[in-house]
Amino acid sequence: RLIKGEVVLKNVTFGYVPGKVVLKNINVTAKPGQKIAFVGSTGAGKTTITNLINRFYEIDEGEILIDGINIKNIKKDSLRSNIAMVLQDTHLFSGTVRENIRYGRLDATDEEVIEAAKIACAHSFIERLPQGYDTVLEGDGANLSQGERQLLNIARAAISKAPILILDEATSSVDTRTEKYIERGMDQLMKNRTTFVIAHRLSTVRNADLIIVLEHGEIIEQGTHEELLALGGRYYQLYTG
Ligand code: GTP
Ligand code: MG
């Protein structure tokens, strides 16, 4: 089991198809517990980087190390249990709320399910459902609001003990009150985990330990919010323009 959650990308180059480079010479070091934000225009390569950390694809050059171990030498199921994900489209299934949260951790007790829901700030809305944690969700959570589905997704990540977290923030806006809940849930979730966030909300970006600006598959700027604003480059354009 990997425990520290240090992630290092060294000179990573990758393309989905031969002859078309999508990421070029990427170097990133995430110390345990740090929060790294990827920003950049559409098609820049943000999702691709997270795909590579998950080893959904093999890289062409360079290496990716987790706690100093090349991910090629880590078993896929071990990698899965050490990386939690909250992605834009939540995949809920027709089953109870409890089953949906426990997904991937079938050994989890009812207490752990409730604890995870509390971390995600989902406990109070679940308790208000007709059968609470035993309420059956329609396919893909159709009987829940978008924000509620997102909170269940956060609870699902919270129940995993993975030291590494990948977040692809939703662009679509939920109401301000739900957004506040989601932010609180996320803060709890990120605590003590190395987090890679594909950030769309300025509030998330601003709080990151390191912001990486990607353009056409290359890192063009990196630093903290203040450093990048002072630089007056692409990041400055993105967040003041
Ligand atoms: P947004 O999510 O739109 O903000 O973009 P992104 O920064 O996440 O870009 P992404 O990493 O998804 O894509 C980078 C480049 O890889 C783009 O040119 C995509 O067209 C290409 N790409 C992404 N996924 C695939 C894939 O599955 N197959 C192929 N062949 N190309 C892909
Ligand atoms: Mg993307």
Q: How far is the CA of 111 from the centre of ligand 2 (A)?
A: 35
183: pLDDT confidence band, cut at 50, 70 and 90? confident
Say how many Å lie between the CA of residue 80 and the centre of ligand 1: 22
Q: Is the pLDDT of residue 173 over 60?
A: no
Q: Which two tokens mark 13? A: 């180059």
The number of CA neighbours under 13 Å toward the Cβ of 17 is 1
Distance 47 CA to ligand 1 centre (A): 7
64-98 pLDDT, tens per residue? 999 999 999 999 989 988 999 988 776 888 899 99
Q: Is the CB of 170 under 6 A from ligand 1?
A: no
- For Cα atoms 135, 182, 196, give the angle at the middle one, nearest 5 degrees: 115
| Whether residue 233 has its Cβ less than 6 Å from ligand 1 | no
Going from the Cα of 133 to the center of ligand 2, the distance in angstroms, rounded, reads 32
- Using an 8 Å Cβ cutoff, are 46 and 217 in contact? no
From 13, 21, 22, 89, the mutation candidate for ligand 1 (largest count of ligand atoms within 8 A of CB) is: 22
Does the C-beta of 57 come closer than 6 Å to ligand 1? no
Q: Residues 21-55: pLDDT tens digits?
A: 999 999 999 999 999 999 999 999 999 999 999 99
- What separation in Å is there between the alpha carbon of 167 and the centre of ligand 2? 11
Contacts of 104 (CB under 8 A, 6+ apart): 156, 159, 160
Q: Which two tokens mark 118?
A: 């509390």
Checking if the pLDDT of 62 tops 60, the result is yes
Would the CB of 46 count as within 6 Å of ligand 1? yes
The pLDDT, as a whole number, for residue 168 is 86
Note the pLDDT of residue 171. Answer: 60
Indicate which residue's Cα is closest to atom 1 of ligand 1: 42
Ligand closest in space to the Cα of 215: 1
Predicted confidence (pLDDT) per residue in 107-137, tens digit: 999 999 999 999 998 999 999 999 999 999 9
Mean pLDDT across the stretch 141-150?
A: 84
Q: Which residues of 159-177 are buried (b: 16+ CB within 10 A; e: fewer)?
A: bbebbbbbbbbbeeebeee
69 strand-pairing partners: 66
Any atom of ligand 1 within 6 Å of the Cβ of 16: yes
Which ligand number lies closest to the CA of residue 200? 1
Ligand 1 atom closest to residue 40's alpha carbon, by position in its atom list = 7
How many Cα atoms sit within 13 Å of 208 on the Cβ side? 29
Residue 2 confidence (pLDDT): 61
Q: Which atom of ligand 1 is closest in space to residue 45's alpha carbon?
A: 11
Please write down the HEC assignment for all residues of the chain. CCCCCCEEEEEEEECCECCECCEEEEEEEECCCCEEEEECCCCCCHHHHHHHHCCCCCCCEEEEEECCEEHHHCCHHHHHHHEEEECCCCCCCCCEHHHHHHCCCCCCCHHHHHHHHHHCCCHHHHHCCCCHHHCECCHHHCCCCHHHHHHHHHHHHHHCCCCEEEEECCCCCCCHHHHHHHHHHHHHHHCCCEEEEECCCHHHHHCCCEEEEEECCEEEEEECHHHHHHHCCHHHHHHHC
Tally Cβ neighbours within 10 Å of residue 101.
28
- Residue 158 confidence (pLDDT) above 80: yes
Report d(CA 165, CA 162) in Å as an integer: 7
Distance 192 CA to ligand 1 centre (A): 29
Q: Rg of the Cα trace of the chain?
A: 18
Q: Which atom of ligand 1 is the closest one to the Cα of 48?
A: 11
167: β partners: 86, 197
